[in-house]
Amino acid sequence: MTNNKHVLSWIEEMKALVKPANVVWIDGSEEQLKQIRAESEAKGEMIKLNEEKLPGCYLHRTAINDVARVEHRTFICSRKQEDAGPTNNWMDPKEAYEKLGKLFDGVMKDRTMYVIPYCMGPIGSPLAKIGIELTDSTYVVLNMDIMTRMGKPALDMLGDSNDFVRGLHSKADIDEENRYICHFPEDNAIWSINSGYGGNVLLGKKCFALRIASYQGKNEGWMAEHMLILGLENPKGEVKYIAAAFPSACGKTNLAMLIPPEVYQKKGYKVWTVGDDIAWIRIGADGRLWAINPENGFFGVAPGTNMKSNPNALLSTKKGTIFTNVVHNLEDNTVWWEGLDKNPPKNAINWKGEKWDSASGEKGAHPNSRFTAPAKNCPCISSEFESKQGVPLSAIVFGGRRAKTAPLVYQSLSWQHGVFVGSIMASETTAAATGAVGVVRRDPMAMLPFCGYHMGDYFKHWLEIGEKLGDKAPKIFNVNWFRTDDEGHFIWPGYGDNMRVLEWIINRCEGKADAVETPIGYEPKAEDINLEGLDINLDTLKGLLGVDVNLWKEEAKGIHEFYGKFGDKLPAALKTELANLEKRLG
């Protein structure tokens, strides 16, 4: 399939290590994929679902000890520990290659090694990058087909170049004690062993698209960010694009696929999805920031996804989708999960493969059960989804889950202040996350688990990008959909009504809306947020926009403590921004 000597010599080296029984190159053809699906089904790795109701869909179950990303077994293996920074687990690359080398030695001796060439981003885009993953898992092959542009076109795009990410994966024995996901940023390599679950094994996803790509971006002058990309179309047919970063459980996919409230729909407003998870962002020839979604599918959390919470996501799963760790409804050979509807199946198998009855009180689907769905299925997929140059960004939005501190929306005073706002992003833990409720967890730019190098250098990179952009920089905002009243109820309705806030954001970017300066940044005048058709009055909205100076003084103390982690790598500009905030708070 290729004469690229870098590719061929690396594959020979890996073959000598894992000693596969045979090797299959994945060309991406439907004919070959059909064969792999059939093999996977025959082995019991995949269960074919109801062809009439869910055409081309399959169910997969992972091992019970292998159901989520494993942060404590995920390492950045940079040559110097300092380069990994205080927020990553570090392992010396020599030690990592030696330790994992022993685990990989002969691991595929009675297995097939699949060679998966894939492209992150549209084929032929100057913003796209190539990876090759070697794996013994048909689950990986079939998911990578949905999540990336996989097969021969990726190799053709690579040509003779040596610029590709080398991924090696084996399920091995799915042994928790020997599970490792190691990233070698200086070698453009990822090694993953003893897992068969999503984010640990689909190496194009968080491993390449964020951890390795963030390092590449720092060296090559671009950004790999944990951000959705959406297009907001006004009644004149003009579309403006927003990239937004949220920690998990803050409604990222829901915002990416937002359905405008009826009052907006009637006027002709629309929202288009470019991406729901990752954005690769570069400065274009016109000096503005342009973004692509490097992925080709959605790897979404199933529980809670329904026709009310996110109809576009649910409709995306209706064909060609792989469901992982959900309930198998034996009545009609379909799938079910908690929060899908109020009719759990009577005759069903749970995510562990056991007979299941909803009356047992046990959940049928794993809380982190997933769907891998082709992006092209999404009813609101953007016409720019395959655009090689990407989309120009008007705004960057950060958000978190705060009960009292952060207002509904505010705008940063400048790009530098915006980097500060992103660097202090935080959410309060909910009962679901841990035993402790209301603990503030910092997650700068929602990148804490995904930055492939020292976070202090990452902040510096953001500041440098801003200097290059000058007055062409997108405006930066912070939102909080999660303000609560004294009884703990959410005040803002969220979901589609977040459109009302996005409208103000775009109006600010276009100089069409006014703002009030507060100690934390620019805020809307309450009357500039459209409340038409909402059961919220102006006074409630003013409360949602309130800035409690005492809470923010407490917040500043927490920021000092968090910044202390980064030592002398923390950019001086961020120290200045914190001092300025404290000055404004008085």
User: Which residue type does 553 have?
Assistant: K
pLDDT given at position 223: 98
pLDDT given at position 213: 99
Kindly state whether residue 134 falls inside one of the protein's structural domains: yes
> What is the pLDDT confidence band of residue 114, given thresholds at 50, 70 and 90?
very high
How many domains in the chain?
3
- The residues, ordered by sequence, that sit 6+ positions from 280 with a Cβ below 8 Å of its Cβ are 120, 121, 127, 209, 213, 217, 222, 223, 224, 225, 291, 292, 293, 294, 390
Torsion of CA 113, 115, 120, 123, to 10 degrees: -150
Structural domain ending residue among the three candidates 329, 358, 377: 377
Mean pLDDT along residues 123-130:
98
pLDDT given at position 429: 77
- The residues, ordered by sequence, that sit 6+ positions from 110 with a Cβ below 8 Å of its Cβ are 21
* Residue % of the chain over a pLDDT of 90: 97
Kindly state whether residue 30 falls inside one of the protein's structural domains: yes
Is 196 one of the annotated binding-site residues?
A: no
Kindly state whether residue 272 falls inside one of the protein's structural domains: yes
Is 319 one of the annotated binding-site residues?
A: no
357 and 261 inside one domain: no
201 and 257 inside one domain: no
Distance (Å, whole) CA 20 – CA 104: 11
431 and 480 inside one domain: yes
Kindly state whether residue 253 falls inside one of the protein's structural domains: yes
CATH number, position 328: 2.170.8.10
Structural domain ending residue among the three candidates 221, 239, 262: 221
273 and 317 inside one domain: no
For residue 434, pLDDT beyond 50: no
Residue with tokens 């004294």: 486
Distance (Å, whole) CA 172 – CA 464: 43
From 119, 182, 250, 380, the catalytic residue: 250
Kindly state whether residue 57 falls inside one of the protein's structural domains: no
241-253 tens-digit pLDDT:
999 999 987 889 9
Kindly state whether residue 55 falls inside one of the protein's structural domains: no
Is 226 one of the annotated binding-site residues?
A: yes
**Helix, strand, or coil (residue 431):** coil
315 and 396 inside one domain: no
pLDDT given at position 433: 42
CATH number, position 574: 3.90.228.20
DSSP summary character for residue 127:
T
Is 401 one of the annotated binding-site residues?
A: yes
Mean pLDDT along residues 478-483:
97
Active site residue 250: yes
Is 57 one of the annotated binding-site residues?
A: no
286 and 338 inside one domain: no
First-to-last alpha carbon distance for the chain, in angstroms, is: 66
Mean pLDDT along residues 75-91:
98
Is 451 one of the annotated binding-site residues?
A: no
Determine the structural domain holding residue 92 and report its residue range: 5-44+70-221
Q: Residue-wise over 438-476: b if at least 16 C-beta within 10 A, else e? A: eeeebbbbbbbbbbbbbbbbbbbbbbebbeeeeeebbbb
| pTM of the entire predicted model | 0.98
pLDDT given at position 435: 54
C-alpha distances in angstroms, 556 versus 129, 417, 516, 569? 40, 14, 21, 19
Structural domain ending residue among the three candidates 360, 377, 394: 377
195 and 166 inside one domain: yes
What are the percentages of helix, strand and coil residues in the chain, rounded to 5?
Answer: 35, 25, 40
81 and 178 inside one domain: yes
- Region of residue 438 (left: phi > 0; alpha: psi -120 to 50; beta: else): left
Kindly state whether residue 52 falls inside one of the protein's structural domains: no
For residue 7, pLDDT beyond 80: yes
pLDDT given at position 248: 81
Is 252 one of the annotated binding-site residues?
A: yes
Average pLDDT of the chain to the nearest whole number: 97
Kindly state whether residue 59 falls inside one of the protein's structural domains: no
pLDDT given at position 431: 54
CATH number, position 27: 3.40.449.10
For residue 208, pLDDT beyond 70: yes
157 and 209 inside one domain: yes
pLDDT given at position 427: 94
579 and 501 inside one domain: yes
